Structure 1
Amino acid sequence: MFLPPAGFVLVHPITARTAIVAREGSAPGGPRFFAKRVASAHRGVAEAREMLVREGCILHLLAGSGHTAAPVADGADAAGPFLVTEMAAGRPVGNLAIGSTDEPTRELVAALLALHAVHAAADGEGPLEVVHGDLSPENLLVRAADGPLPCHVTVVDFELASYRDGGPPQDGSFRGTLRYAAPESAREGARTVRGDLFALGAIFYERFTGIPTRHREGPALILEVAEEPVDLRPASGLPTRVEGALARLLAFDPSGRAASAKEVLDQLA
C-alpha cells in the first residue's frame, strides 16, 4: 500500500520498480506531483533507502537547470523516506511513434542539451559530477517548445545516479536498463559520462530508425551488450550528420566515444 506524504493525495500509480514505487498525486486544490517511496518489501534494505535520498539530493542540486523535475518535498515519515517532485511535462521517448519527427537533428540536439545540463552542472564548490547511470526511453520526456528548437527534453528518474558525494555501490554489479547500457557498464558496472552518452545514442537510434541496437533476451542479452559492438544499419532519410553523431555515441570502446555531450553538439552545429 502506498501512503502519500502528508499534504498530498494519491491519484494513481505510474510505475512499480524493484525497489522504488512511484505514484502520481496532488496537493488538495493544486497541481499534480510525482511521489516516490521505497517499496514495502525493500524498506529494510539500506541501498534502496539511499537511492531515494540520493535522488532527492541530486535533484535539489540540479534545480534551475531547466532539464530536470524540480523537487517539491523530501524527507521521511512513519512509512519511510519519500521524494515528491513536480510532474514534468512531456511524453517519454518510448511513447513516441518511431520516426515521428521531421527534424531528427534538432530533436537529438535538444536531448544532448538536456544531458549536457546534467553533466556540466556545478555549484560554489565546483562540478557536481552527476552521471545518470540509467538512461532509457522512459526517463527522457519530450515536449513541444517555442524557439530555435522544436522540442524540450527533461531527464527524470535519478535513482541510480551518482554525483561527487556518492552513488550506487561500486561492486562490479550491473544496475539499470540493460538494453541501452554501454558495454563497459554491463561488464563492470561502470557509471560514466561516456556511458550516459552511449545510452542516449541507443535510445535515439531506435527512436529515429525503429531498429533496436540490441536484439537478444535474457542471459544472451548480457553477453550481447558486454561483448558485441552495435551493428549500425543505414537509415533511410536520416541526415548524414545525425548518422555520424549516433555512430560516435555508440562506439564500443569508450575511448572512441565523445567525452561530453558538448562535443557531439559541436559536431551537429
Structure 2
Amino acid sequence: MVPDLTNRLLGGRYQLIQEIGGGGMGSVFRALDLHNNGQEVAVKILYAPTLLSRGNAQLDDLRRRFAEEIRVSTLLGQHPRIVKVLDHGQEGEHAYLVMEYLKGQDLGKLIREKGALPVRQAIRLALQACEGLHFAHTFRANVEGREIRGVIHRDIKPSNLFVERVFQDGQLTSQLKILDFGVAKTLADHTLSLGTQKGGGFIGTARYASPEQVRGKSLDARSDIYSLGVVLYEMLTGSMPFRLETDSLHSWIHAHCYENPLEINPETAPQPIPPAIVAVVMDCLKKNPDERPQTMQELAERLLQAYELTVANQLPPSQASTVLLPNTKAPSSASQPLRTPPAQVQEP
C-alpha cells in the first residue's frame, strides 16, 4: 500500500497537507513552505517503497526518469504557460519535486462539469497550450555537458492542462498551465530521454496518443499536435473524436491508427462551431504527420486566423477592423511569444 504522508515534513521545510492528485510515479500534495511564510506549494512524490516488488532495475529506471523530469521541468518552468518548479530533494526513499501551487482545476474536470466549452474559451486555451508547447519544442540548453534541443511532452491530455482563473486587465479570464513533463523526450542526438523503455514500447495515455506514438515510432512535435487536436475536439464538442465499444488500450490503438475521426456535425454539435475552426481541428487528427500543422507556431496562427475570420464575418464591416489584429504573421523567432486572442476572445 502507498504510505499516508499527510502531515509529513519533507526536507525540514515542506509540510504536506492534503493529497490532490496522483499518477503512475506517485502522488501530488498541497503543502506549506515553512521557510517562506507558509506559502502554498504543490509537492510531487515518487513512491519508491511501493515499487520494490517490481525489481530494482525498474525502480532505478523510475528514479532516473524522475531525476531527469526535475532537470527538464526546472528549465521549462521559466515559461509562463508551463508549471514552475521551485525545488527538489530526497527524503529517505522518497524523491520529491516542489512546484508552484495552482488554484483552479484541470481541463479534464472542467469538461466533465461543463461539457463543451464556448468556442472563444476553447480557442483561447488552445492558443495558450500552443504557446507553452512551442517553447518546449524549440527549447535549447546544455545541462552537465549534454544538449537539450527540443522537448516533446508525449502526454498532452486534459488532466495535464490546468486552468487558472485570474484577473487580467480588470477582467476575470482563464490562464492555462501545462503540467507533467514526466514522460517527455528531447529531440537532440545527445539527450535527456524521459519515459523511454529499453527495447521501445508505448508510454503515454492511449486516448490522446498519436498513431506514431502508439506504434512506438520516433516522435517529433507533430505528435503533440495530434494530441492537442484530440483535446481541442473534446473542448469544442464535449466528446471524443472516436466511438469505441470498449475503453481499452487495444481499441484506442486501433482507432488512432486505422479509424477516421468523427466529423463534427453542425446538427448534433452542442454549439455552433465555425467550419474554419473545424477544418484546423480535423487537420490535427490526420494519421500522416506530414498532413498536420507542422509546428505549434503554425497551428496557433491557423486557429487564430480561423477565429478572427469567423468573428469578422459575424460583424458589420465597420466593426470588423476592431477585432482583427495587425501583424498576423507568426513570430519568426522561437524566443518570441505566440499571439493570444485579443480581449474580444476572452470569456466573460
TM-score > 0.5 by shorter chain:
yes
Q: Which moved more, 1:209-218 or 1:162-171?
A: 162-171
Matched, 1:77 2:91: yes
**Aligned partners of 2:82 and 2:179 also within 8 Å:** yes
Paired position in structure 2 for 1:199: 227
- Residues 156-196 of structure 1 deviation map (CA, whole Å, 9 limit, x = unaligned): 01110112422222533111111011011111154421111
Aligned-partner Cα distance in 1 for 2:295–2:237: 24
**Aligned partners of 2:196 and 2:203 also within 8 Å:** no
Aligned-partner Cα distance in 2 for 1:201–1:221: 15
Paired position in structure 1 for 2:69: 55
In the TM superposition, 1:86-105 aligns within 5 A as 86-96=100-110, 97-103=114-120, 104-105=122-123
Matched, 1:208 2:242: no
Structure 2 vs 1, CA of residues 266 and 94 (structure 1 numbering), >3 Å: closer, same or farther? same
Structure 2 vs 1, CA of residues 241 and 34 (structure 1 numbering), >3 Å: closer, same or farther? same
Matched, 1:32 2:40: yes
- Residues 76-115 of structure 1 deviation map (CA, whole Å, 9 limit, x = unaligned): 2322322111113442111112223251433322222222
- Residues 40-95 of structure 1 deviation map (CA, whole Å, 9 limit, x = unaligned): 32264122112211111111211321111211111323223221111134421111
Aligned-partner Cα distance in 2 for 1:5–1:190: 38
In the TM superposition, 1:139-178 aligns within 5 A as 139-144=160-165, 146=168, 150-163=173-186, 164=188, 165-167=191-193, 168-169=195-196, 171-178=199-206
Shift of 1:24: 1.9
Aligned-partner Cα distance in 2 for 1:51–1:37: 13
Paired position in structure 1 for 2:138: 120
Structure 2 vs 1, CA of residues 14 and 58 (structure 1 numbering), >3 Å: closer, same or farther? same
The alignment partner of 1:138 has SS state of: helix
Paired position in structure 2 for 1:68: 82
**Aligned partners of 1:111 and 1:152 also within 8 Å:** no
Structure number, greater radius of gyration? 2
1:5 pairs, out of 10, 24, 31, with 10
Aligned-partner Cα distance in 2 for 1:247–1:149: 31
Q: Which moved more, 1:50-59 or 1:123-132?
A: 123-132
Paired position in structure 2 for 1:226: 257
Tell me the percent identity: 22
Gapped runs of 5+ residues in structure 2? 306-348
Aligned-partner Cα distance in 1 for 2:135–2:282: 22
In angstroms, what is the RMSD of aligned CA positions?
A: 2.4
The alignment partner of 2:158 has SS state of: coil
Matched, 1:41 2:50: yes
Structure 2 vs 1, CA of residues 127 and 265 (structure 1 numbering), >3 Å: closer, same or farther? farther
Aligned-partner Cα distance in 2 for 1:142–1:16: 18
**Aligned partners of 1:110 and 1:149 also within 8 Å:** no
- Runs of 4+ residues deviating >6 angstroms: 124-127
Corresponding residue pairs, total: 269
The alignment partner of 1:56 has SS state of: helix
Letter in 1 for 2:10: P
Q: Which moved more, 1:47-56 or 1:73-82?
A: 73-82
Shift of 1:4: 4.9
The alignment partner of 1:76 has SS state of: strand
Paired position in structure 1 for 2:158: 137
Structure 2 vs 1, CA of residues 11 and 195 (structure 1 numbering), >3 Å: closer, same or farther? same
**Aligned partners of 2:148 and 2:192 also within 8 Å:** no
